[in-house]
Structure 1
Amino acid sequence: MNILIVDDDLVDRKLIKKMLISDGSHHHDITEVTCVSEGLKAIENKHFDIILLDYNMPKEDGIEMLIEMRAKPKLGNTAIIMISSSENSALAIECIEAGAQDFLPKGDITRDSLNKALIYAKKRFEAEQRMHNSYLAVKHMAERDQLTGLSNRYHFEEILKVMIANNKRAKNCVALLALDLDNFKNINDTLGHSVGDEILIQTVERIHSCLRQNEGFARLGGDEFAVIIGGICNINQIGMIANRILAEVSKPFLHEGRTLNCSVSIGSALYPNDATESHELLKCADIAMYRSKQSGKSRISFYKEQYQYEFSRRVDIQNSIKEHIEEKSFRLFYQPVYCSKTQMMTGVEALVRWPNTTIHYTPDEFIPIAEECRLIDPLGKWIIASALEQLSLWQQSYETPLTLSINISPIQLQKKILETYLLETIKTYNLKTSSIILEITETAFMENSKEVIEILTSLSNKGFRIALDDFGMGYSSISHLISYPIDIVKLDKSMQSLDGENNKRLKIIESLSLMLKKLDFSVVAEGIETKAQHQLCKKLNIDYLQGFLFSKPMPANEINLILDDYCKKIILK
């Protein structure tokens, strides 16, 4: 057994050594030192099974060495027996509480008591080590993300608090980066969670390569990560690290010969400039990250107070959407669509509007938020049910083959349940699928094209007519007209700026219109506000017209007045 004796008293050392050697049943390799500093140096160069440590020494007390050792990983890896000339029981308890395995008054030391203490102390320490290692393992599991090995949210928040406290004393800045992978859900949904996990692990490796060793890095959940950067002297440091991360993550991922693309949006907040508390700093970084998402993704945004207002407004809208869906208090307006030849109303487009409340939001504000937080599904169901019920009433009351156009979100198109719900609702109100036009935008084609094609094809086969909205606004591709089961094309309202013979857009619209007619699409011009635009539509032989020149969106009761007027004209004829 390797034994270290730390005692400044030569006589005591010799006495203890003699007792150890006199026990012929055990072989001991004994090292002697006279002070704490020599003892600490000795354990750095050699492993000892037992340390016999004098409590009271001139320069440093032995208990200071005990505390320092127990603060090390694996508890210093050595059993310790404290020895003292004092027999004070309070002193003995202090030593045991500090981490000693035993306490022996020097006056009570005999050969037998010493050897028993050595054996018991070693066994106690081994048991304590096992317990400590189990504690460390459980602690590691509680603080770490199992997939990536990074700190989890709880551990990260604790690290952030310590980092802020340390930098507060040093009067340095701390930067917090909030990171969120862009479109990661599509990888999980289309390729499975095992592939998603592999991408997450590779992403962590790439981000690690951009960081210094002393920077905190955590997975907060799902595809959300965070990085702490301490000792910031210049904001350019943050930008350099963030841009390295953006560049690394945006490189293509390879999986079984397939190339996958994924990027990251980053938000940055700075202590103490943006917040002085850890939870507030996290909130600010999150808000900045959402700003990056809204600005086009794959970029970094630095927190600004204005973002706090925008974020709060966004949260208010989201909460209000939930409330109004539950209360069914959204409103539907209907904008008439007119036949260019007969000038008669042939159909209406259902347009959702915010409830009649003091605070009002436009569809351009609340629809994207409903899509992002997946509230578009319950909202979309309410729109479909309410609009189809109204169409049924019109068709029964006026015996008119009125059509109804409903805008379908790309989010709704990703779910097969849309078709089931449409068919069930149509059956409930005794309608024909041919009287329903489903309007989609080309953003629906950007992701999951195969699935979208299958859903649209199935809907088309069931008799629904499919309209491509906003054609010509910049995203349009001629291939979409061929690849998808589209019946109707709606020219974008950018036609509003076509007044004037020399407008370049005029030639584009003329060409588009001619092409669409040649391909046998029904063409609707929307956003018609001037007589000049109306004349142009006549010239281009466009089939249907929609816009403020003819009628603004209106509640159902005002559509009733238009239909009443048509009925009177028919009777007079």
Structure 2
Amino acid sequence: MNVLVVDDDSIDRAHIKRSLQAHHRGCSTMEAPTVDEGLHLVRQNQFDVVLLDYKMPKRDGIEMVLELRNEFKDTYMAIVMMSTSEDEDLAMDCLRAGAHDFLLKMDITPARLHRSILFAQTRFELERKLFQSYQKVKQLAERDPLTGLANRYLFDESLKMAVANNRRHNSKVALLLIDLDNFKYVNDNHGHDVGDLLLMALTERIRKYLRDNELFARLGGDEFAITLANLEHPSHANRVARRILTALKQPFIIGNHSIVTGASIGIAICPDNCDRAEELFKFADIAMYRAKKQGRNQVCFFEGEMQIQFSQRYQTEIQLRQSLEEGLFELYYQPVVNPHDGHFSGFEALIRWNYEGAVRSPAEFIPVAEESGLILEMGRWVIEHALAQLARWNDRHGHPLRMAINLSAMQLKDVGLTSFIQRHLEVHNIDPYLVDFELTETALLDECSQNVQTIQNLADMGCHIALDDFGTGYSSISYLRKFPIDVVKVDKSLMPGKDQSHKELSLLRGLISMIQSLELDIVIEGIETEEHECLCKEFNVDRAQGFYYYRPLPARDIESRLFR
């Protein structure tokens, strides 16, 4: 038996140790004169019993009992409190704090100390068994015994809490109800044991797509539910649901059986649809029923307009994947012109999507590409083809042209991006100095280490970093200092209209003057009139682009119109 004696009186400690040895000759004893030293020893060693004096300097024994019970919940040790005071209220306070027995110091004899330790250990063991029994009852009351997920009771209570907390925050709560398709067929044809194993395997697969703070529950049978709290936009709920459906496409191998199952998922949003947990559940249930009617293995939002919007986005994602495989994308190039002599010095590469007989602009599909992660593959395709085209033009026409290529925020997180660019620069023998990578302010907002490293790698490689849409954000100027920016593209929204005011001209002049004072290259976007061109000349800007000069054109039209 390992015993810790905590007492500031060395004579009392010696008396206690002698009394211990009389009945417990093989016990190991350690001593501490203060509460803090006693706690330090408990953290370093495993004790069966703590004999603790109530009255000590700085901190008393009750404080130590409270810390022991809070900090060492899973440590098995009985606590006996000792005191010279015969005050019964003090004894009760010690027991309420968590001591297992109380012993007057004047009564300490080998026999009484042995009995007190025995009583304390017995009470401690009963307390431990009672706590374990409580934990088992709590587990049965709140957890599904098959999957270990939250059960219906715990889910209902948690959903009420999430909705109540949501009222205090400017965010959303999404409820996803999931019903497996054709689960009855599995039970009827393979037996309930296989059905149970399928539910367990499915639970583990879905868990991989959830964060730790997202509640996942089995409501009964083959019906599950997920609560997503603190959402900024319902699109996150849609992404989670789509990932779950994608995950379920892979067969489950249960024993000798290969089982494919889908799911119908209904989604309701608080406060968009309602602000009460009961109504949220009802609306999600209605949405799940609609999903089943649509042919199963579907996601359906309760609100009709929202459902149409997300169905369209999902269809767009499918079409984008198919188009990437079939090569239905094309690059257009908008020339960058010197306003003083009309000669062009390079191009900006702009992706277009040729689908169903129409050419779609990036605004129609880039948001979906970013949301689905397709932007990574699409972005590499743009880089590869734009660099190849630049190499062909420079070889054929004998003078160096520059190529501007847009990068999204997601592409900056691609750890292999810089090596991919380096490889294609070398393959086509292109001087990195001739390549501008354009970043918008939103791409620079996330200053995580990977983003910063990617930008720096591109700059170290010799490529130019261009800040696109300058003047539209609230903190663009700070990025000129934080990042290795070489080129600033002044947004077309800053170009004066027909009735140009003195304020508009002064603002534009001031921005251009500031950029020039930093010795950065300038590209003015949105040149649409002769007056705009005159302003570029007046402000001594030698790079501009806009419809006044050229619209974005396919490579074949660039060849026929500019390289004749």
TM-score after normalising by structure 1: 0.52
Map residues 378-389 of structure 1 onto 2, 5 A cutoff.
378-389=377-388
Which amino acid in the other structure matches residue 476 of structure 2? S
Give, in whole Å, the separation in 2 of the partners of 1:236 and 1:490: 39
Task: Return the letter of the residue paired with 2:428.
Answer: Y
Aligned to 2:364: 365
| Distance 1:241-1:269 versus aligned 2 partners, 3 A rule | closer
Larger-gyration structure (1/2)? 1
Mapped to 1, the partners of 2:271 and 2:407 lie a distance apart of 44
Q: 1:208 aligns to what?
A: none
Alignment of 1:333-482 (within 5 A): 333-358=332-357, 361-482=360-481
Contact 1:275 1:281 in 2 (8 A): no
Give the drift of 1:347. Answer: 0.3
State whether residues 472 and 491 of structure 1, in contact with CA within 8 Å, keep that contact through their aligned partners in structure 2: yes
The residue type equivalent to 1:403 in the other structure is R
Aligned residue type for 2:274:
I
Q: Please identify runs of 4+ aligned residues in structure 1 that moved more than 6 A.
A: 135-139, 196-199, 220-226, 234-237, 281-287
Partner of 1:178: 174
Q: Decide whether aligned partners of structure 1 residues 275 and 346 sit closer, same or farther in structure 2, where only a CA change above 3 A counts.
A: same
CA distance in 1: counterparts of 2:320 and 2:381, whole angstroms: 12
Percent identity between the two aligned chains: 31
Residues 114-513 of structure 1: pairs in structure 2 closer than 5 A: 140-145=144-149, 150-151=150-151, 178=174, 200-201=212-213, 218-219=226-227, 238-239=274-275, 271=282, 276=286, 278-280=288-290, 303-358=302-357, 361-502=360-501, 504-513=503-512
Q: 2:175 touches 2:227 (CA, 8 Å); kept in 1?
A: no
| Alpha-carbon distance between aligned partners in 2 of 1:156 and 1:432, rounded to the nearest angstrom | 60
Contact 1:337-1:349 within 8 A present in 2 as well? yes
Match of 1:542, SS? coil
Contact 2:408 2:443 in 1 (8 A): yes
**Residues in 1 aligned to 2:363 and 2:225: alpha-carbon distance in whole angstroms:** 37
Aligned partners of 1:460 and 1:466 also within 8 Å: yes
TM, length-normalised to structure 2 = 0.52
Task: Return the alpha-carbon distance in structure 1 between the equivalents of residues 315 and 553 of structure 2.
Answer: 27
Cα distance, 1:506–1:237 mapped onto 2, change above 3 Å = same
* Compared CA separation, residues 496 and 424, structure 1 to 2 (3 A): same
| 1:342-367 residue CA offsets vs partner (Å, 9 max, x unmatched) | 32110000000011523654311210
Match of 1:507, SS state, is helix
Aligned residues: 339
Q: Is the 2:155–2:215 Cα contact (8 Å) retained in structure 1? A: no
Report the CA distance between 1:241 and its aligned residue.
6.7
Q: Specify the SS of the correspondent of 1:238.
A: coil
Distance in 1, Cα, partners of 2:272 & 2:315: 34
Query: What amino acid sits opposite 1:545 in the alignment?
Result: A
Shift, 1:500, TM fit? 2.7
Distance in 2 (CA, whole Å) between partners of 1:177 and 1:347 is 48
Aligned CA distance change for structure 1 residues 475 and 438 (closer, same or farther; 3 Å): same
| 2:514 corresponding residue in structure 1 | 515
1:227-276 CA-to-partner distances (Å, cap 9, x unmatched) read: xxxxxxx999933779xxxxxxxxxxxxxxxxxxxxxxxxx96847x974
Q: Deviations over 1:97-121 (max 9, x none)?
A: xxxxxxxxxxxxxxxxxxxxxxxxx
Tell whether the 8 Å contact from 1:151 to 1:219 is kept in structure 2 after alignment.
no
CA distance in 1, matches of 2:209, 2:319: 35
Distance 1:277 1:488, change over 3 A: closer
* Corresponding residue number in structure 1 for 2:91: none
1:423-456 residue CA offsets vs partner (Å, 9 max, x unmatched)? 1111111211111110111111211343322221
2:391 match: secondary structure = helix
- What secondary structure does 2:346 align onto? strand
Q: CA 1:557–1:427 in structure 2 vs 1: closer, same or farther (change >3 Å)?
A: same
